[in-house]
């Protein structure tokens, strides 16, 4: 059976960066006979303009029938006046929930060539390579009851509910342990078990699932301490697993340790490692159409796809090494430019990676 990838370029810089990622993917697909097929569809604002909805049924069907989804980015000022239900972002949320993508992988890797892009001291961040696994479909962002009500006293009260079932915790635990097995076999589960019972259960289930993975060293940390440790000494971490809300905050802290939004990929997986892969950044309307966006986050998302969905670690490593070589050759898009390097376009950066792969 040929493997199928749904390609959703989206809006803004999305089509520009996805085009470069496809150059790389096409090359590695042919070179290593991976047998991957592609089909492109509209999502987000582009889909709204064509069909009046950010997630047309044919796009959703394509994603459901594919093994993986490669997404650029969605959104932009043009669609901001639209009602929430038909905004471009709804296209992404729809795919996440329809495909049950509960495990969000956010690596933070600092390439040695870009050590000065970080606002932290080089000795703190040099060599940084950590992965945050965020639970994506449960917790306080979805819990009921929720809302703003008028209490009996006449005062307004706001309310949200943090709920995690044992099965929800267990499946994200398995996902995180399996990822840790593919890395340095260290997993830190972040919670607030001293104050929140829901995360006391989280901690207990993590420990229980950990018995199935004796090769992975499991530790636990409170979220306030984890926030401090991420900034103080981030290299102590390999894989961090945490709840939806804690992961939202910690993954953004981790991303900024590297200082470069154009370099960071992500994955969102289901229980069978089917997934959606996308850069963490948005559609960057301020630079769209200029051919200057950094395509490396999207190219690195392709490497994650090959590693996690298609179980092709060698192909993934080849792409990551090619990105490294491209940076070694001193070419930089504007977002990572520094004195003494050569500024290049989106396409030239893609070509530099391709050349390194062919090399």
In contact, 71 and 8? CB cutoff 8 Å: yes
**Which one of 138, 139, 259, 262 is in contact with ligand NAI (CB under 6 A)?**
262
Stretch that binds ligand NAI, among 35-43, 97-105, 204-212, 283-291 (CB under 6 A): 283-291
Instruction: Tell which one of 76, 138, 210, 247 touches ligand NAI (CB under 6 A).
Output: 76
CA dihedral 170, 172, 173, 179 (to 10 degrees): 150
Residue 261 known to bind ligand: no
197 is an annotated ligand-binding site residue: no
- Measured from the CB atom, the residue of 134 and 171 that comes closer to Mg ion is 134
CB-neighbour burial class of residue 227 (10 A; exposed 0-12, middle 13-18, buried 19+): middle
What pairs with residue 147 in β-bridges? 159
Determine if 260 is a binding residue for ligand NAI (CB under 6 A): no
Any binding-site annotation on 183? Answer: no
| Least distance in angstroms from the C-beta of 252 to Mg ion | 5
Q: How far apart are CA 121 and CA 257, in angstroms?
A: 10
Residue 75 contacts which entry, ligand NAI, Mg ion, none (Cβ below 5-8 A, type-dependent): ligand NAI
Q: How far is CA 202 from CA 7, 60, 209, in A?
A: 35, 32, 11
Determine, following the binding rule CB under 6 A, whether residue 73 of this chain makes contact with ligand NAI. Answer: yes
Position of minimal CB gap to Mg ion: 248
Name the binder of 256 from Mg ion, ligand NAI, none, CB < 5-8 A by kind: none
Question: Do the beta carbons of residue 57 and residue 96 sit within 8 Å?
Answer: no
229 contacts 221 by C-beta, under 8 angstroms: yes
Exposure b/e, 183-202, CB count within 10 A at least 16 = b: eeebbbbbbbbeeeebbebb
Residue 278 within binding range of Mg ion, rule CB under 5 A: no
* Binders in 289-318 for ligand NAI, by CB under 6 A: 293-294, 297
CB 173 within 8 A of CB 209: yes
Query: Which H helix or E strand runs over 106?
Result: strand 103-109
Q: DSSP letters of 228-257?
A: HHHHH-GGG-SEEEE-HHHHHHHHHHHHHH
- Structure token digits, residue 116: 């000065």
Nearer to ligand NAI by Cβ, of 19 and 34: the residue is 19
Q: Which one of 248, 270, 320, 335 is in contact with Mg ion (CB under 5 A)?
A: 248
Q: How many residues bind ligand NAI (CB under 6 A)?
A: 22
Task: Take residue 76 and report the two structure tokens written for it.
Answer: 């932009």
Annotated binding site: 76-89, 96, 106, 134, 224, 248, 252, 282-294
Residues that bind Mg ion (CB under 5 A): 248
Residues that bind ligand NAI (CB under 6 A): 13, 17, 73-76, 89, 92, 261-262, 278, 281-287, 293-294, 297, 335
Annotated binding site for NAD(+): 76-89, 282-294
Annotated binding site for Mg(2+): 224, 248, 252
Annotated binding site for substrate: 96, 106, 134, 224
């Amino acid at each position: 059976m040929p493997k199928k990838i749904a390609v959703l370029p989206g809006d803004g810089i999305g089509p520009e960066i996805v085009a470069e990622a496809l150059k790389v993917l096409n090359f590695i697909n042919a070179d290593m006979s991976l047998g991957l097929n592609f089909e492109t569809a509209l999502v987000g604002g582009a889909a709204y303009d064509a069909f009046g909805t950010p997630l047309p049924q044919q796009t959703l069907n394509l994603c459901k029938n594919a093994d993986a989804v490669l997404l650029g980015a969605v959104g932009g000022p043009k669609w901001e006046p639209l009602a929430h239900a038909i905004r471009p972002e709804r296209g992404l949320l729809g795919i996440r929930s329809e495909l049950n993508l509960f495990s969000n992988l956010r690596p933070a890797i600092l390439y040695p060539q870009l050590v000065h892009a970080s606002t932290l001291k080089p000795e703190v961040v040099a060599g940084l390579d950590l992965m945050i696994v965020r639970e994506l479909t449960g917790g306080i962002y979805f819990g009921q009851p929720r809302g703003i009500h008028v209490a009996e006293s006449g005062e307004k009260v706001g309310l949200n509910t943090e709920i995690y079932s044992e099965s929800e915790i267990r499946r994200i635990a398995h996902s995180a342990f399996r990822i840790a097995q593919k890395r340095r076999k260290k997993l830190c589960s972040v919670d607030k078990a001293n104050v929140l019972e829901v995360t006391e259960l989280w901690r207990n289930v993590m420990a229980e699932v950990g018995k199935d993975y004796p090769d992975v060293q499991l530790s636990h940390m409170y979220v306030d301490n984890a926030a401090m440790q991420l900034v103080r000494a981030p290299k102590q971490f390999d894989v961090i697993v945490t709840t939806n809300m804690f992961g939202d905050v910690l993954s953004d802290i981790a991303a900024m340790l590297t200082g470069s939004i154009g370099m960071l990929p992500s994955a969102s997986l289901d229980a069978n490692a089917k997934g959606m892969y996308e850069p963490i950044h948005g559609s960057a309307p301020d630079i769209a159409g200029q051919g200057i966006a950094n395509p490396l986050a999207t190219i690195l998302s392709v490497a994650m796809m090959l590693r996690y969905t298609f179980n092709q670690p060698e192909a993934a490593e080849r792409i990551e090494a090619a990105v490294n070589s491209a940076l070694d050759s001193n070419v930089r898009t504007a977002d990572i430019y520094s004195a003494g390097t050569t500024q290049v376009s989106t396409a030239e950066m893609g070509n530099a990676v391709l050349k390194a792969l062919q090399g």
